[in-house]
Structure 1
Amino acid sequence: MLRFMPVGDSMTIGSAGEHTWRYRLWQHLCASHDGPFRFVGPRESLHDKATDAPTSYEYADGDPRFPRAHLAGWGEGWLHMAPLIADAVRAHRANVLLVSLGLIDLGFYTDAEQTIENTRRFVAAAREADPRVRMVLLPVIPNVRAEGDAAFAAQVARFNELLAKTAADLDEPRSELLLASPPPAYDIHLDTYDGTHPNASGEHRIAAAFANAMHEAWDLGGPYELP
């Protein structure tokens, strides 16, 4: 059985009342993937904006079978996840990591070069837990700060360049490292509710980025049909 672990920041954990891109991808894989699979991870909650804490389980109405497990947190980045990933992979026997990180690091903690060092630490730790773990890495996607802050936009562009190089450098046959393309036609004015966090259409587009990468590289599932 394939065991997917979504790893990310606020765009991945989502907040109270949302479906999340995790749900959209799960729906897609249920319809397109032939073999058994599940989503795994040490956390299940959403972020509650009222309490500013990951204490909500009020997902938007959907299929009650959806496995809510993940490793994502509001305000967390590569810096925060690198020390956690080995134990999470080991405990939950994840064999495919779906990773969307970097915006928080670049915005608050580290520059592009420092962030990519934490990316490398993350990959090494995941492989220490399981030498055959596979990973799909999503670049930092368009956001409102990058639109209005040229220096930050330059750091995002630099990190995404380094991420592509790192994915190529660290890829290996027994533990494939796949760089996803940015979500198709992602528009922060149409696909987010605040310039950063995805609304329903944004959730679909992020799910499509992961799904299409896995389909094209690994023949896993099928192409994602956007609504």
Structure 2
Amino acid sequence: MRCECGSPLPSPTSYCLSCGRVHTLACGVYIGKKVYLVAIGKVVETQSFEIYDEEESIRNLFEILAERIHERRVGEVYVSGEDESKIKFGFENVRRYALSDLRVYATQPLPFNEFVSKLREFVTRKKELRKVDIPPEEKIQGAHTTIIGGRLGREFLYKVALCEYVKKIVPGVITGGASSLGGGVRFKVTRCDERGNIRALLIDGSSVQEIHIVTTAKNKEQGEVILKMLKSVSSS
């Protein structure tokens, strides 16, 4: 296998040390009976690793995964697994041992083959999205200057603003119920419209604030891709 510059590559998804070309769009980590590393590029490359219960073995495993991910110079890793507990385990360890400033996203539980198929479709569509270079703090705008949830509420919106496909965040009206919903401060993306913009809710006890997120998406299909990315903010 050779890079477009003619230099040999260890694999089709390897980073080229000669010209600096990245051949991987994103990586996936799947936790099942084994741990799988999936690299999505022009081809899909999969590596499997045995997993053991010992703390030292777990550390060694995720250090190796971190090295493999770093070798491909990707900025994003998507974590899935057979169930929620395995996804949480993978998500926490991928972030803990990362060798660069990775964006790590947790997905829903899926069979392995379905995860690979959906990940490939997702990152291919994501490649078509336009990025914006706007400081996160300048994206939060609108007539409603109050943001419920105090510091935590603002942290949720700041995390949304870090997304390079978000152009503007507009806090909306605040409504309140008669009784507390409990659960502390929460953020939930709900749907996207036909233009690809996203509606979300910021929740603090019995108070609920609508959040309107303006994206670079051209249509609902592209907006759904961004919505999936922002869902990770709800669980962060």
Bigger proportion of residues as strand:
2
- From the CA coordinates, give the structure whose radius of gyration is larger: 2
Common topology (TM > 0.5)? no
TM-score, length-scaled by structure 1: 0.30
Identify which of structures 1 and 2 has the higher relative contact order when contacts are C-alpha pairs closer than 8 Å and 6+ apart.
Answer: 1
Bigger proportion of residues as helix:
1
